[in-house]
C-alpha cells in the first residue's frame, strides 16, 4: 500500500507472526510499534535519520513486543515518531507528519504519532507507543482514540530506547475498549477479572477550567454518564491545585520559578510540571548527551531546542524532583483511597492546527504539561477516552 494511503503513519512495513498458531487472546489482531522498540534484525530509528545511520540492527526484540506476539497478534511494521521522542506535536521534518485521521488540518500529537494515526485510520487494531511526559495520551486525544499509560514499571521497557527512566512507560492505543483491555492484560500478565466498581469519581474543577472546550462537552457529559452508571453519590468535586500545594511541600522550590505569575495556569500543577521537565532533561542528558555531542545530528526546530537545552542542564536539584515524586504519589493515594478515580482533561483543548505559530503552541504546551504531569510524576496509570462519539472511518 502506498504511503499516501497509509496517512504517513509507517516508517517501514514488515510482518512478525504470532508465536503460536493456537487461539490466543489477541489472535486475529494486527498491531504496529513505534520506532523506539527493538525488533530483531531492524535498526531502531528513534525518529531521526542520523540516529538510524549511526546504530546497528537490533539483535533481539523488546519484551513488550514479544508479549503481544505471544498473545496471538501480528505485527505489520514500525511507525513514525517525533525526533528522539522530544515533542508532543507529532511533527517530523525528516519523515513527514502523519495525517491526523480525525482532523487532517491539525497535528496528530506525539511523540507516538504514527502509532496513534495507524489505529485512528484503521490500519491496525492496536499499536504500541511510549509515554514519558504524555506521548501516548496526547496523540490518543488528538486522534480521537483510546490510549493507556500504565503505572510506572508495570510493563517492561527493556529493548526500548530510554528517554528518562524515572518517567518512561510502554503504552498502547486501540479503538475498541475490549481490545484495549485485552492488550493490557497480555502486557501486564493479568488474568481476566470482572470490572471493579469505583468507590468515588473525583472531578478537579480547577483542571477543567484550564480547558477551552465548553463544559457542556466535558464536565456535564461526564457527570451525566457517572450518575447514569453509578449514581450521583459517587461523585466528589475538589480543587486539585490547592490539595497538591498543601500535600507536596517539596514543590515550594519550583513555585518560585514564575509559576505564580501564569494567570492561565494552576501554580502548583505548573510546579509539578517544572519538576517533571527538570528530571526529564537530566535523565535524557545522561542517556544521550554523548551521542548528540559526537554526532551533532540534524534536528528539526522544537526538538532541537529542547534536546540541546537538556544537554546543557546542570546536575542540581534532582533529589528535590524525586521528593516531589514521592510526595505526589502519597498525596494521590490518600485522595483516591481504594478504587477511586480522578477524572481530568488530558489536554486543554483541540489539537493545534498544522503550522501554528510556535508561541501559541508553547502556551498550549505549558498548560498541557500541567495536566499530563499529574500521572507522569506520580507514576499512576491513566486511561484516555473521548467524551464525544468517535469519527467515522476515514476514506482513502
Question: Per residue in 245-280, pLDDT tens?
Answer: 999 999 999 986 455 555 578 999 999 999 999 999
Residue 329 burial (CB count, 10 A): 16
For the chain, the straight-line distance linking the first and the last C-alpha, in angstroms and rounded, comes to: 11
CA-CA distance, 285 to 35, in Å (whole number)?
20
pLDDT at 260: 53
Mean per-residue pLDDT, 182-201: 95
Indicate whether 381 pLDDT > 70. yes
Q: Which of 168-182, 259-273, 291-305, 344-358 has the lowest mean pLDDT?
A: 259-273
Known catalytic residues are 34, 111, 135
Which of residues 382 and 360 earns the better pLDDT score?
Answer: 382
- Within 10 angstroms of residue 109's Cβ, the number of other Cβ atoms is 33
Name the 3-class secondary structure at 116. helix
Please report where in the chains the cell 525528516 appears, as a residue: 94
- Strand duo 146-149 + 169-174: pairing: antiparallel
Rounded-to-integer distance, Cα 357 and Cα 375, Å? 28
pLDDT at 249: 98
Tell me the three cell numbers of residue 292: 548528540
Beta strand segments in the chain, E: 10-16, 30-34, 74-79, 126-131, 146-149, 169-174, 200-204, 235-238, 340-342, 382-384
Q: Is the pLDDT confidence value at 68 over 50?
A: yes
What span, in angstroms and rounded, lies between the C-alpha atoms of 32 and 186? 16
The arithmetic mean of pLDDT across residues 306-316, rounded, is 94
Give the pLDDT confidence score for residue 387 in this predicted structure: 79
User: In this structure, are residues 65 and 159 in contact, taking their beta carbons and an 8 Å threshold?
Assistant: yes
Q: Looking at residues 314-318, what average pLDDT do you find?
A: 90
Q: Is the pLDDT of residue 370 over 90?
A: yes
Tally the C-alpha atoms within 13 A of residue 97's C-alpha that lie toward its C-beta: 22
Confidence of residue 390 (pLDDT cuts 50, 70, 90): low
| pLDDT reading at 2 higher than 80 | no
Strand partners, 341: 201
pLDDT attached to residue 389: 59
What does the alpha-carbon distance between residue 44 and residue 58 come to, in Å, rounded to a whole number?
7
Phi, psi for residue 198 in degrees, rounded to 5: -65, 145
Give 198-248 pLDDT, tens digit per residue: 999 999 999 999 999 999 999 999 999 999 999 999 999 999 999 999 999
- Calculate the alpha carbon distances from 355 to 79, 93, 202, 365 in Å: 22, 12, 36, 15
99-147 pLDDT per residue, tens: 999 999 999 999 999 999 999 999 999 999 999 999 999 999 999 999 9
This model's pTM is above 0.85: yes
pLDDT for 396 beyond 60: no
% of residues, the chain, pLDDT over 70: 94
Vertex 303: Cα angle to 302 and 308 (nearest 5): 105
Q: Could you tell me the pLDDT band of residue 19, with boundaries at 50, 70 and 90?
A: confident
List own/partner pairs for 318-321 with CB under 8 A and 24 or more apart: 318/278, 318/279, 318/282, 320/250, 320/253, 320/254, 320/275, 321/275, 321/276, 321/278, 321/279, 321/282
Q: What local confidence, expressed as pLDDT, does residue 20 receive? A: 81
In this predicted structure, what is the pLDDT of residue 386? 86
What is the greatest pairwise CA distance in the chain? 60
Helix 318-336 with 267-295: angle, nearest 10 deg: 140
Whole-number pLDDT of residue 1: 37
Task: Give the mean model confidence (pLDDT) for residues 94-102.
Answer: 97
Question: What is the 3-state composition of the chain as percent helix, strand, coil, each rounded to the nearest 5?
Answer: 40, 15, 45
How does the average pLDDT of the chain come out, rounded?
A: 94
What grid cell was written down for 239? 480543587
Q: Report which of residues 365 and 396 the model is more confident about.
A: 365
d(CA 20, CA 26): 11
| Average pLDDT estimate for 339-361 | 94
Task: Measure the CA–CA gap between 240 and 205, rounded to whole angstroms.
Answer: 8
Amino acid at each position: 500500500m502506498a504511503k499516501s494511503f497509509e496517512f504517513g503513519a509507517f516508517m517501514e512495513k514488515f510482518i512478525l507472526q504470532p508465536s503460536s498458531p493456537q487461539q490466543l487472546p489477541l489472535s486475529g489482531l494486527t498491531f504496529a510499534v513505534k520506532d523506539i522498540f527493538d525488533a530483531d534484525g531492524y535498526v531502531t530509528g528513534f525518529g531521526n535519520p542520523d540516529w538510524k545511520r549511526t546504530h546497528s540492527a537490533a539483535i533481539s526484540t523488546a519484551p513488550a513486543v514479544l508479549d503481544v506476539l505471544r498473545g496471538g497478534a501480528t505485527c505489520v511494521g514500525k511507525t513514525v515518531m517525533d525526533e528522539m521522542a522530544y515533542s508532543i506535536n507529532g511533527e517530523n521534518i525528516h519523515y513527514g507528519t502523519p495525517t491526523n485521521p480525525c482532523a487532517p488540518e491539525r497535528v496528530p500529537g506525539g511523540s507516538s504519532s504514527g502509532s496513534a494515526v495507524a489505529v485512528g485510520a484503521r490500519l491496525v487494531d492496536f499499536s504500541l507507543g511510549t509515554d514519558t511526559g504524555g506521548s501516548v495520551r496526547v496523540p490518543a486525544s488528538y486522534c480521537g482514540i483510546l490510549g493507556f499509560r500504565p503505572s510506572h514499571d508495570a510493563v517492561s521497557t527493556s529493548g526500548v530506547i530510554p528517554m528518562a527512566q524515572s518517567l518512561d512507560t510502554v503504552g498502547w492505543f486501540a479503538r475498541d475498549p475490549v481490545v484495549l483491555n485485552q492488550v493490557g492484560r497480555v502486557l501486564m500478565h493479568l488474568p481476566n477479572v470482572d470490572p471493579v466498581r469505583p468507590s468515588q469519581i473525583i472531578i478537579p474543577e480547577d483542571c477543567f477550567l484550564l480547558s477551552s472546550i465548553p463544559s457542556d462537552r466535558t464536565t456535564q457529559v461526564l457527570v451525566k454518564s457517572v450518575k447514569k452508571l453509578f449514581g450521583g453519590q459517587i461523585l466528589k468535586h475538589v480543587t486539585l491545585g490547592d490539595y497538591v500545594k498543601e500535600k507536596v511541600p517539596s514543590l515550594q522550590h519550583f513555585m518560585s520559578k514564575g509559576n505564580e505569575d501564569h494567570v492561565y495556569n494552576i501554580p502548583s500543577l505548573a510546579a509539578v510540571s517544572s519538576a517533571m521537565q527538570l528530571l526529564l532533561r537530566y535523565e535524557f542528558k545522561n542517556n544521550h548527551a554523548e551521542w548528540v555531542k559526537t554526532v551533532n545530528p540534524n534536528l528539526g526546530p522544537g526538538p532541537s531546542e529542547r534536546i540541546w537545552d537538556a544537554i546543557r542542564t546542570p546536575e542540581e536539584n534532582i533529589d528535590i524532583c524525586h521528593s516531589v515524586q514521592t510526595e505526589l504519589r502519597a498525596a494521590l493515594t490518600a485522595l483516591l483511597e481504594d478504587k477511586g478515580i480522578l477524572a481530568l482533561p488530558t489536554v486543554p483543548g483541540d489539537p493545534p492546527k498544522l503550522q501554528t505559530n510556535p508561541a501559541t503552541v508553547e502556551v498550549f504546551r505549558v498548560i498541557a504539561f500541567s495536566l499530563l504531569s499529574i500521572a507522569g510524576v506520580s507514576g499512576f496509570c491513566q486511561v484516555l477516552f473521548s467524551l464525544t462519539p468517535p469519527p467515522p472511518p476515514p476514506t482513502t
